[in-house]
Amino acid sequence: MDFSRQLIDWYAVNKRELPWRDTQNPYFIWLSEVILQQTRVKQGLPYYKNFVKKYPTVQELAAAPQDDVLKLWQGLGYYSRARNLQAAAVQIVDNDLKFPDTYKELLTLKGVGDYTASAIASFAFNEAVAVVDGNVYRVLSRIYGIATPINAPAGVKEFKKLASNLLNKKDPATHNQAIMEMGAIQCVPKNPNCYTCPFQSHCIAFKKDKIEYLPVKIKKTKVKNLFHHYIVLQTPSRKLLFNQRDNSSIWAGLFEFPYIEAGGALLPAEITGHGIFKNIVGGSRFRESVYNQEPIIHKLSHRKIHAYFWIVEVEDEIDGAITIKEAQERPVHVLMERFMRDFWQLK
């Protein structure tokens, strides 16, 4: 089986037209790859276009205020990607604007690992390095019937070696694009299009009816439940208290209401009697607090956050409080975005 030739022939007919495929600009390619990590193309495409429009060069991204970058990223999640992207842009600017043009040099950039370095090196500079992402794992594990867990060191090594052996050394860019595209639109996780697949006659998973069992992934650790009770203060002038997270925490650099972390649901008296609440309100009198009966649930890889929002109207202004409009302009994480949109009917 001439794997690469069949793959590229399939790609020529079935590929989607995407803006980052029409360029060899390493910055644009890098930007697209970072955005598409943990993000579907349909969701990521508008973000890519907005970033290219606002920050068309590495220099402009490096010089931008981090809050502006995070605000533009808002809604994509995994905000460390945006912070690392900007940090790496600063690295490039500090290196006299020389964009790394080899796989090994690309690995020196903040947040750039094997997959991203391979993608940029092959797509922008035609270096013969194989990309291995979730789509590639799925395609190769099914066609070659490999049951080694893809998130185990042995699996990472095995699949990288196989992908490298199959790589079209003369045209690595097209080969890599093609195998990723096959995993994205043909050999999808559920209900793949096996009967129109050019590899059907060679696919071990198809022959042995193991499509739904491959690729194999070691089960994640048990999910931990977290209960965050956000205190939404409203002053007489309808101002709010908004805090920025430090750089050592989840959602680093994003804004949110002050919150109490607890072991579960709390009663109103437990909120108003808490030290954090008293420190925030100070000597100001407040009306009876209320909260949404149903918490907003947000699932992360190892955590499930139950977010309760307590609305407290105080009778005095509070230092540092900002308007709703100002809060809307700050970069916020998904829990804040959902609450603010629903409670204040923001667009």
Whole-number percent of the chain with pLDDT over 70: 97
pLDDT of 277 reads 82
pLDDT band, very low/low/confident/very high, at 284 (cuts 50, 70, 90):
low
Residues 201, 65, single domain; the answer is: yes
In sequence order, what are the residues at sequence separation of 6 or more whose Cβ sits closer than 8 angstroms to the Cβ of residue 333? 79, 251, 254, 256
pLDDT of 279 reads 82
State how far the alpha carbon of 43 is from the alpha carbons of 37, 161, 182, in Å: 11, 31, 19
Residues 185, 152, single domain; the answer is: yes
Instruction: Note whether residue 120 is domain-resident.
Output: yes
Instruction: Note whether residue 82 is domain-resident.
Output: yes
Domain boundary among 213, 237, 254: 213
pLDDT at 22 over 70: yes
pTM of the model: 0.82
Domain of residue 305, CATH code? 3.90.79.10
pLDDT of 222 reads 83
pLDDT of 300 reads 82
Residues 176, 317, single domain; the answer is: no
Active-site residue, from 17, 33, 212, 329: 33
Residues 164, 301, single domain; the answer is: no
The better pLDDT of the pair 334, 272 is held by 334
Domain boundary among 191, 213, 235: 213
- Average pLDDT, integer, range 293-304: 85
Q: How many domains does the chain have?
A: 2
Domain of residue 8, CATH code? 1.10.340.30
Residues 92, 41, single domain; the answer is: yes
pLDDT band, very low/low/confident/very high, at 149 (cuts 50, 70, 90):
very high
Question: Is the sign of the CA dihedral 184, 190, 195, 198 positive or negative?
Answer: positive
Instruction: Note whether residue 219 is domain-resident.
Output: no
pLDDT band, very low/low/confident/very high, at 98 (cuts 50, 70, 90):
confident
3-state helix, strand, coil in the chain (%, to 5): 45, 10, 40
Domain boundary among 164, 183, 213: 213
Write down the residue that tokens 């709703």 correspond to. Answer: 324
Residues 196, 313, single domain; the answer is: no
Residues 328, 193, single domain; the answer is: no
Residues 243, 199, single domain; the answer is: no
Residues 158, 266, single domain; the answer is: no
pLDDT band, very low/low/confident/very high, at 344 (cuts 50, 70, 90):
confident
Rounded CA-CA distance 149/175 in Å is: 24
Residues 189, 229, single domain; the answer is: no
The better pLDDT of the pair 233, 150 is held by 150
Residues 36, 133, single domain; the answer is: yes
Instruction: Note whether residue 109 is domain-resident.
Output: yes
Is 212 among the catalytic positions? no
Residues 194, 329, single domain; the answer is: no
CA atoms within 13 A on the CB side of 235: 18
pLDDT band, very low/low/confident/very high, at 316 (cuts 50, 70, 90):
confident
Print the domain residue range for 49: 3-213
Select from 195, 188, 197 the least CA-distant residue to 215: 188
